[in-house]
Chain A
Amino acid sequence: MNPLSEVWLILQRELLRNFRSVKGIVLALLALLGGSGAAMLLVKFQQFKRTQLPDITPEHMKELREQALAQVYDPETAKQLSSSPEVLYVVLMLTVWLTPLLIVFLGFDNVSSELQHKAVRYWTVRTRRGSYFIGKVLGLFATVSLITLSMHVLIWVVCIARGEASAGETFAWGARFWATSLPMSAAWCAVATLVGSLFRQPVLALLMICVAFFSLWFLWAVGLAANVEGLAYVYPNYYDKLLLSSKAWTAAGGVAACLGFTVIGVGGGTLIFARRDV
């Protein structure tokens, strides 16, 4: 049996396991409720803006948005993003910042619980250790991606129904924003599975993943505060800047950076897992 088939079988099992577990269902519902709640608030805010600031024309509003976005992105990207439906952009930001949390709670026990109860032994006599590990990472990634997709789709529907943007515009921007979140999610999933697989106790795994994620965020924050850009590179969410760029090469650089994180996480995790006692 080739390793790809092994990975595929484990990925399918992980998806089923995650969406059938109480934890998976609760997290998916929370993500959906949180996302739709945020969408409703944003729509209300848009209404408020329209009624309270009637003098500001849509063109002027776009200009203001462009200026605000230019604080984070290059001028060309800021200009492009300023024409996207505001609700969808805010939802992307919510996704980018909340996905690590979703990954922590969904993924902390995907390897550690099977190590703790030695259930992993049923797999290691049948699959290569690498396939098992990669299957776990991909299973987590697929679960998170499906949850965020459902959240985005819900918001697309709200966006169209409330007339915030046309259907074509919503789907085009919505799909792009959701796709932007994927490379960053993959990087977080790899890091979470790598750290989680080092521990046999799920509680310890949860704690250490939180510590690892916080450390990466802290380095990014220090990097920003101290103006040391090199430090910010260790934080996967930093790359949304590149991923949203209007220049294809810059966006590809963002994808490559996130893939680099994923490869390091998966490669390191696989190596360690292949050498450890189970």
Chain B
Amino acid sequence: MMAGFLKPTEGTIEMLGYEPTQVDELRSRVGVLPQDAVLPPTERVGEFLVHMARLQDIPKEKAEEAARGVLAEVDGREWWSVKCASLSHGMAKRVQLAQALLGEPEIVLLDEPTAGLDPRVAYEVRQLVKTRKGRCTMIVSSHNLQELEEICDSAAILDRGRVVASGSISQLTNASEEVHVKIAPPLTRGEGAYRGGAPPVPLAQIRELPMVKRAEFDDERMELVVYFERGSVDAETVISHVLWVLLNAQVRISGVSKGRGLEQRVMELT
């Protein structure tokens, strides 16, 4: 809807003060990477990008330069003369991303940018998105919540078409209010094995730490959750103190995270 592909059944949408269908006003100001849009198979990558650039009102003499620029940005310099039909899924996705970046748009809409990509290409696409930070606003629509947590500053969680939560990633995940520590099962054999069952999590000691507001241990999930006052101390300081106590008590740790993770938050809200 933000790209003007679909009409809203009710309400209105504005992009930079205009309706998404006001193409002339939004030309070159909004770039879009549609999720399932196939590149025209008979066209060569270079001529497709030049055609797109020309439609964005980039002058003829600069269109090729702009097209080559975005293609280089997605690491596809050598694909200029390749037919779109010959591109692999990952290459095609990067060309699609390149067309979205043409003309230095103010807003870039990315619809499931890494869906169906192999891990390496997905990683490269994420890095690419990160490199654009500060140059434009990128709006990513994705079901990959770990990815969103990694590349986004803010998020809005939608459930059946309604926004159920929105804010910065740290707000949404409570990253500045709680720390999660995954406790590993104790070693039962060999050197360093703990005699007499699992070492108890020193919950009382943790609760006594000055910055800790509350601490809970979930036996089933083997997870320690430590709550602290937002703003009075940072998560890193809390983690250092909690880990110190746990290590002194010979507790084995398998993971530490700030907040509860976007995935967990989405599960709670939807």
Contacts and interface: CB of A to CB of B under 8 A. Distances in A.
Interface of A: 1, 6, 9, 13, 17, 20-21, 114, 117-129, 274-275, 277-278
Contacts of A117: 36-38
Given A1-B24, A119-B40, A121-B5, A9 B51 contact: yes
21 contacts: A1-B24, A1-B57, A6-B55, A9-B51, A9-B55, A13-B51, A17-B42, A21-B42, A117-B36, A117-B37, A117-B38, A119-B39, A119-B40, A121-B34, A122-B37, A122-B39, A122-B52, A125-B30, A125-B31, A129-B21, A277-B6
B16 interface: no
Interface of B: 3-7, 21, 23-24, 26-27, 30-32, 34, 36-40, 42-43, 51-52, 54-57, 99
A119 B4 contact: no
B43 A17 contact: yes
A43 to B, nearest CB: 38
Given A124-B5, A277-B6, A118 B37 contact: yes
A1 B38 contact: no
B51 A124 contact: no
A267 B36 CA distance: 29
A278 B1 CA distance: 10
A2 to B, nearest CB: 9
A277 B3 CA distance: 11
**A1, A126, A278, most chain B CB atoms within 10 A:** A126
Contacts of A121: 3, 5, 32, 34, 37
Contacts of B5: 121, 124, 277-278
Contacts of B32: 121, 125
Contacts of A21: 42
Given A1-B24, A9-B55, A124 B4 contact: yes
A115 to B, nearest CB: 11
Contact of B27 (A1, A9, A119, A274): A1
B42 A126 contact: no
B40 A125 contact: no
B113 to A, nearest CB: 15
A17 B52 CA distance: 15
A64 to B, nearest CB: 50
A9 B55 CA distance: 7
A118 B37 CA distance: 4
Contacts of B27: 1, 126
A129 B22 CA distance: 10
Given A9-B51, A20-B42, A125-B30, 7 more contacts: A117-B37, A119-B38, A120-B37, A125-B23, A126-B56, A128-B24, A277-B6
A118 B221 CA distance: 45
A22 B127 CA distance: 39
Contact of B7 (A17, A114, A277): A277
A17 B40 contact: yes
A128 B21 CA distance: 8
B30 to A, nearest CB: 7
Nearest to B99: A122
Given A117-B37, A119-B37, A119-B38, A125 B51 contact: no
Contacts of A123: 55
Nearest to A13: B51
Contacts of B24: 1, 128
A185 to B, nearest CB: 24
Given A1-B24, A9-B54, A127-B55, A122 B42 contact: no
A7 to B, nearest CB: 11
A140 B89 CA distance: 31
A126 B52 contact: yes
Contacts of A13: 51
Contacts of B38: 117-119
A226 B6 CA distance: 47
Contact of A125 (B3, B54, B57): B3
A13 B34 CA distance: 21
A126 B100 CA distance: 11
Given A118-B37, A121-B34, A126 B3 contact: no
A180 to B, nearest CB: 33
A122 B38 CA distance: 9
A114 B30 CA distance: 21
Contacts of A275: 7
Contact of B34 (A9, A118, A274, A277): A118
A125 B42 contact: no
A1 to B, nearest CB: 4
B98 to A, nearest CB: 12
A55 to B, nearest CB: 58
